[in-house]
Amino acid sequence: MRLFHACRGGVLPNSLLLTALLGPWMAGCGGGAEPGSLRHVLLVSLDTARADRIGAFGDQAARTPALDGLSERGVSFDSVTSAAPTTLASHTSLMTGSWPHTHGVARNGFVVHEDNLMLAELFRQEGFHTAGVLGSFALESRFRFDQGFDHYDESFDLLVSPAGADQNQRRGDRVTRAALQHVDRVMDDVDRLFMFVHYFDTHAPYAPPEPFAKPFLAPGASATSDMRLVDEAVCAQQQAVTGQAFGHAGAINAGLRGPLRALVGNVSGRPGPVDAHLAALYAGEMSFMDKALGDLLDGLGERGILDETLVILVADHGETFWEHADLWNHGLAVYQTTVHVPLLFCFPDGRQAGQRVSTPVSTIDVVPTLCELLGLALPPRCEGVSLVSALEGATLKRGPVFSEATQPWVAERPGVWANAGKARCVRDGRWKYVASPYNQVEELFDLEADPGERVNLLGSDPSAQILATRNGLRSQLMSWQEGRDPLPARFDSSQMQETLQRLKAMGYSGESDSSGD
């Protein structure tokens, strides 16, 4: 890939600002690039990747050498809250630096309004070649998530079927292959590259290819699963608490209300046999996805690109297994299992290598951080906070962070922000407050003493101090909600209809209950 020089062919917009901000990362004019200069940006998203299932973030049983290596060479943020526990809403926040109730995408299937200024648009304005390579349909161009990309690869080869994939997608090795093939096609014609790569392997159902499942499975256990097995696990946990089995779709459609409300705070928090099997397969998928990521980084290194690339790695959301009422789900609730995600910044010169930041931050902070690092204009509706001070080893003062659930759809009302009645949370330091208007659930957790959110401090005879803490956080959450000003976003049902037609053609006449959340 040809290297960028500020004196080549005129002056780059913001070139003086870039030089001042990046100092030794920027190469001088003539004589080629200096080692560690910052030319390119790689943003990697791991869909449905729980932070606590990655080696670098505490899972000693995980096999994630690529992720662990990035953490060793970069800066790890240990307390990151996703803006929303669903793919499109979360990714739109990642790319705009704004909350869902600002950018207007409530959940999957909505169309990103063109008044949003997306990260790819910012990079393209500054002369970067912008490329996106997807692992799932949820970010397809039909939803206008492709705004600002010169190249947008959304070729999927695993299609929806009754017993297999729950949405159109492709495996991580094929995502990596497509990304490197594109780099090879353009490397002689572009000066700077912004590449977004989206991996989807840790999304249910789980079927990691060999040999990635074997280290985690019990002897003789199957190395694959489907959504029926996920439903079996959900039903078993529901039955144990309520005496009834509503299933995965039943919870998504009805929400945690009525008989299902009894699950809140009352699930055992222990895995049944099917839960344990699914978790083992999830670990295998994480290991496989890590290998795909490692191959991508190795491929960029072999092409001489990685040593000039800032790598940012993040997840859009996690997944509750058996820990809470939103069993094997993301979207219904805002527990740490679904909103705590990994975030890594790895600079080509290795500065601040191995540093860990404990301050709670948000995924909407990625945009303002990149804007400050690269001298990009801040989007007018950006609400995130730059993390540059933390990346430089200084103290970060962030303030509270928020997240909002995207299910159930029964809580939505015409003319009102679609997520207004759903669960939402605020985290300020060690404290996390959760409010869910549609089922009147209110919870307060001390995440330092209770990282698993097992003890609702509002549950029985709370002290005056606890009530005061609740009141302060409740006020913050209410102010955040009252400030909502969403751009209009229409729902695009075309992919859902295509899915139903495909299933019917296969002889499956049931109605789809999945929106890809």
**What is residue 159's predicted lDDT score, i.e. its pLDDT?**
72
Residue 35 pLDDT exceeds 70: no
Task: Read off the pLDDT of residues 245-257 as tens digits, 9 standing for 90 and up.
Answer: 999 999 999 999 9
Residue 494: count of CB within 10 angstroms of its CB: 11
Work out the mean pLDDT of the chain and round it to a whole number. Answer: 89
The residue segments making up the domain with residue 334 are: 15-22+38-399
Task: Read off the pLDDT of residues 261-274 as tens digits, 9 standing for 90 and up.
Answer: 999 999 999 999 99
Residue 47 pLDDT exceeds 70: yes
CATH for 77: 3.40.720.10
Pairwise CA distance, residues 22 & 367, whole Å:
17
- How confident is the model over 61-67, as a mean pLDDT? 98
- How confident is the model over 275-288, as a mean pLDDT? 98
- How confident is the model over 366-388, as a mean pLDDT? 96
**Band (17; pLDDT cuts 50, 70, 90):** very low
**What is residue 163's predicted lDDT score, i.e. its pLDDT?**
53
Q: Are 51 and 318 in contact (CB under 8 A)?
A: yes
**What is residue 273's predicted lDDT score, i.e. its pLDDT?**
97
Q: Is residue 267 part of a domain?
A: yes
Pairwise CA distance, residues 499 & 56, whole Å:
38
Lowest mean pLDDT among 17-26, 306-315, 321-330: 17-26
Radius of gyration of the chain from Cα atoms?
22
Task: Read off the pLDDT of residues 341-354 as tens digits, 9 standing for 90 and up.
Answer: 999 999 999 999 99
Q: Is residue 318 part of a domain?
A: yes
Q: Which of 22, 17, 47, 96 is nearest to 486 (CA)?
A: 96
**What is residue 30's predicted lDDT score, i.e. its pLDDT?**
28
- How confident is the model over 75-94, as a mean pLDDT? 98
Pairwise CA distance, residues 263 & 245, whole Å:
12
**What is residue 161's predicted lDDT score, i.e. its pLDDT?**
61
Residue 28 pLDDT exceeds 70: no
Pairwise CA distance, residues 484 & 18, whole Å:
34
Instruction: Find how far residue 249's CA is from the centre of its chain.
Output: 22
Pairwise CA distance, residues 388 & 214, whole Å:
41
Task: Read off the pLDDT of residues 333-343 as tens digits, 9 standing for 90 and up.
Answer: 999 999 999 99
Q: Is residue 392 part of a domain?
A: yes
Residue 400 pLDDT exceeds 90: yes
Q: Are 451 and 462 in contact (CB under 8 A)?
A: no
Task: Read off the pLDDT of residues 110-141 as tens digits, 9 standing for 90 and up.
Answer: 999 999 999 999 999 999 999 999 999 999 99
Q: Are 217 and 282 in contact (CB under 8 A)?
A: no
| H-state helical runs in 198-269 | 227-242, 247-254
**What is residue 342's predicted lDDT score, i.e. its pLDDT?**
98
Per-residue CA distances from 159 to 172, 281, 282, 311 (Å): 15, 20, 20, 30
Q: Which of 480, 488, 338, 317 is nearest to 418 (CA)?
A: 488
Q: Count of domains in the chain?
A: 1
Residue 282: both structure tokens together = 């999830």
- How confident is the model over 290-317, as a mean pLDDT? 97
Lowest mean pLDDT among 16-20, 124-128, 426-430: 16-20
Q: Is residue 470 part of a domain?
A: no
**What is residue 168's predicted lDDT score, i.e. its pLDDT?**
84
Pairwise CA distance, residues 348 & 326, whole Å:
40
Higher pLDDT, 216 or 161: 216
**What is residue 339's predicted lDDT score, i.e. its pLDDT?**
98
Residue 420: count of CB within 10 angstroms of its CB: 18
**What is residue 517's predicted lDDT score, i.e. its pLDDT?**
65
| 0.95 exceeded by pTM | no
Residue 499 pLDDT exceeds 70: no
Residue 456: count of CB within 10 angstroms of its CB: 17
E runs forming strands in 413-506: 424-428, 431-436, 441-446
Q: Is residue 264 part of a domain?
A: yes
- How confident is the model over 278-300, as a mean pLDDT? 98
Q: Is residue 504 part of a domain?
A: no
Residue 22 pLDDT exceeds 90: no
Q: Is residue 113 part of a domain?
A: yes
Residue 32 pLDDT exceeds 50: no
Pairwise CA distance, residues 262 & 258, whole Å:
8
Q: Is residue 380 part of a domain?
A: yes
**Mode of pairing for the β-strands spanning 151-153 and 75-81:** unpaired
Could you say which DSSP state residue 39 is in?
A: -
The DSSP secondary structure of 133-169, one letter per residue, reads E-SBGGG-GGGTTTTT-SEEE----B---SSS-SSSB
- Report helix angle 366-374 to 15-22, nearest 10: 100
Residue 289 pLDDT exceeds 80: yes
Residue 147 pLDDT exceeds 50: yes
Task: Read off the pLDDT of residues 105-114 as tens digits, 9 standing for 90 and up.
Answer: 999 999 999 9
Percent of the chain with pLDDT over 70: 87
Per-residue CA distances from 506 to 160, 162, 366, 475, 512 (Å): 11, 9, 43, 52, 14
**Band (158; pLDDT cuts 50, 70, 90):** confident
